[in-house]
Each structure stands twice: as C-alpha cells, then as structure tokens.
Chain A
C-alpha cells in the first residue's frame, strides 16, 4: 500500500464545464428555491452603527446576524474567532463598552451604538501591548485559535485590578485551549499583572 500513488488513492475531482448564466453579483439566484423562499419572508433589515477599535462603521444587517459574524464577515475583522457558537469555548470574546462579552451570544443589532474592541485593537503602532508581549514571552500560544478570546477576557480582568492566580484560573474556566495547556497562559496573564 505504501507504493500507492496519491493520484490513485484520491482521483482528482472532475469539474465538468458548465455554462454558468448567473452573474457574479446576483447571489439570490444561486440559492436553492427553498432558501430563496426563506429569504423572501425574512425579517426586514436593521441599521447598526458601531465603533470598532476606534473606527466608525454603519451597516445594514438582518436582525438574526450574530455579532461574531458581523465582525468577521461584514467588517472583515477576522481576528475574532468562532469556535462553538454557544458560549462555551470563549474564542469569540470581545469588549463591548469596556466589558468582555461572547460575540456569538449577541446579535449585531444589540451592539448598535456601542463601542467595541477586538483583538485587532490591542497592539498600538504595530507594537504588541504588555499582555500580548507576555503571551509571546511565556509561550502562551501554539495554534493561536483560542488566543484572541483569552486576550480580550484577560484585558477586562486586568482592568479591574490585580487578579490572583486563582482568579486567573477561574477566568480561564470559560476558555477552551486544546494545544498549549493552561499553565503558560496563567503564567502570561500573571506576568502582565506585574507590568
């Protein structure tokens, strides 16, 4: 089996040439009829004006759009990660009016008028902020998927005073990391409290 060529094991997917009458911009015609029906009965759109990392945005969205998807898809700020979409993993944590929240458990419509900070807003003039620098020094990330959420929650925790090690561990109970292990993360946040 070792000699099996990849070509044999995984034949290339054939893409038969098909005339495509749908223009690149006409999304509604690409959806199947059932989905198109849902689109037609969808609730009216709503205007959302927010400030994200100091920059103002005004967008028109469906009421059911999650804040996490608004940040990533509508505004293109993909630093905020989406893991579980039910509040367990913590990857999507952002600051809303200075307080950490799960962006997958908020509607974009609910952020109307609010001031948001995402992980993209932490570094200043291209320099890592003290918390981010502590993460690098302590090797508190490997794949980095959970890191944006942990940084935002830790930013909130540090803004309330000097947390104890127990308080840091308690904070991390709301964030799933599957590769680094929590010890270096606790270390990094503890280090940042000294700065």
Chain B
C-alpha cells in the first residue's frame, strides 16, 4: 500500500509540463488532485517512473465564462463554488466522492481519468461540452462525445495535458437533473443518469451501466422504457443485469420527471 519510487517533477508553467510529458510519454503520469491517482499508486496498480505534479502551474487555476460556456482549468477543484453556475454541475457535484475528497479532486482530472462510472464525464457528455488538450505538438479541442473511448480510456495521447474543460452554460430554456444510485453515498455509481428537458424535448445520458458515458435517443413519451430497452448492462458482484436494467428504468424516470419539473 505504498507507491513505487518515482521521479517527482513540479513544473511551474504549462510549457514546462508539456516538455516533461513529451520527454517521458506513457512513463509519466500527471498529478492534479490525485484523488483517483493516489489510490492506484498506493495499490501499485500503476507504476509510473515520473510523476508530473501540476499543482504549481498557477495558470491552470482559471474558471471563466466565455461565449456561453464555463471554461474550467485543470486545477479547479470539485468543491469550487464557481462551478455551481452550471445547473447540471450543481446537481451532480454532491454525488462526486465526499466533502473532503472534493476539496482536492479536480474536475479536469476526473474527465481525464475517464471512469465510466464517474459523474463528471457523464455531465460533460450530456451538455455536449469539450476537452482542451495541449502538448508540445499543439493544442486541440475534443468533443466529449468523442473523448471517452471505453473504461479508463480516452482520446488523450500520452504527451497531452488536459488544460481545460468547456461546459456549455447558456440559459436557452433547458432544465437539468442528475440521479444516481450507489451502495453508499459517495461510492461509485451502480447507475447514473443525467437528463435535460425543454418543453416536450428530452435528452438522456447514462453512466456506469455502459462502458463510457452515452447519450440515448429516447421516446419523450416513454423515456424510461425506451432507455432500458437500449442497454445491455453486465451484472456484477453488487447487482444482477436484471436489477441494473430496472435501475435504468427507475433513474431515467426520476431524472426526466425532475428535469421537466424544473423547466416549468
């Protein structure tokens, strides 16, 4: 339960961080909040030879409104109150870990980690947000719909650093709700649902019962049944496939109802 020995680098600029990642590639891991990275280091599931701690890259602490989106820098913590300007984030953040881990854990770190059961990737996908990745080769913006590939796998190249995530926050009449069930509050979700409603329109995205956050085309008249018909959840130690399918039905129903209620 102790990390292996590694070289510890503490860059003070994005350029310096990118140079380190270019030099060490997949031998290096980026340390931001560390609330997912440190557990796997402690358990030695990961054995990086270089750790690039970006906590001293103060340029990355930005949270700013720009063109109808909230741009969230790589060092913005999950407890940052500026995030509450995005209604879906305000609803989903209380489910992310615990009070104490949110003080340290970052929004961008959770996105880069790409856990299919995590709340923030699901929220970014439903909102149609994007990820800004920088490397010595240049900068690119990747739509959330393309960014997440499968469990713990994203489009991010080994030399790329997530510098920002972009959260659409323009008030265009959509109302949002986030629902999940975990064995204990703050645990990994068995199933998570994000919903957006405007008039008769409805958007639903699913997490945890799929290998990456997934937007579903649902029948607005019967969203729960049509969502449940589209997933093939794998049963696990805690819940059977039939239970999870029913959970999709229940949570989609709740999320859709609450999003519509908030829209009125």
Contacts and interface: CB of A to CB of B under 8 A. Distances in A.
Given A85-B42, A86-B42, A64 B6 contact: yes
B100 A106 contact: no
B99 A42 contact: no
Interface in A44-74: 44, 46, 62-64, 66, 69
B2 A66 contact: yes
Interface stretch (B16-24, B31-39, B121-129): B31-39
A100 B103 contact: yes
Nearest to A41: B5
Contacts of A62: 5
B101 A174 contact: yes
A185 interface: no
A170 B185 contact: yes
Interface string A63-94: 11010010000000000000001110010010
Contact of A63 (B6, B42, B101, B104): B6
A117 B8 CA distance: 25
A171 B184 CA distance: 12
B103 A99 contact: yes
A7 B168 CA distance: 73
A101 to B, nearest CB: 5
Given A86-B39, A86-B43, A110-B53, A64 B100 contact: no
Nearest to B38: A105
A31 interface: no
B55 interface: yes
B63 to A, nearest CB: 17
B42 A90 contact: no
B7 to A, nearest CB: 5
A63 to B, nearest CB: 3
A107 interface: yes
B8 A87 contact: no
A93 B100 contact: yes
Given A104-B42, A170-B94, A170-B185, A63 B103 contact: no
Interface residues of B, number: 31
B8 to A, nearest CB: 3
Contacts of B53: 107, 109-110
B220 interface: no
Contact of A170 (B3, B6, B42, B99): B99
B51 interface: yes
B104 A38 contact: no
Contacts of B51: 63
A20 to B, nearest CB: 27
Given A43-B6, A110-B55, A66 B100 contact: no
Contacts of B186: 173-174
B98 interface: yes
Nearest to B53: A110
Given A66-B42, A173-B185, A90 B98 contact: yes
Given A106-B38, A106-B104, A170-B94, A64 B3 contact: yes
Interface string B23-51: 00000000100110011011100000001
B1 interface: yes
B4 interface: yes
Contacts of A109: 8, 10, 53
B61 to A, nearest CB: 14
A173 to B, nearest CB: 4
14 contacts: A42-B5, A66-B42, A69-B2, A87-B101, A100-B100, A102-B101, A105-B101, A105-B104, A106-B104, A110-B31, A170-B94, A170-B99, A173-B184, A174-B100
Top 7 A-B pairs ranked by shortest CB distance? A174-B98, A63-B8, A86-B39, A105-B38, A173-B185, A42-B5, A64-B3
Given A86-B39, A101-B103, A110-B53, 12 more contacts: A43-B8, A62-B5, A63-B6, A63-B7, A64-B8, A86-B38, A100-B103, A105-B38, A107-B53, A153-B100, A156-B103, A174-B99
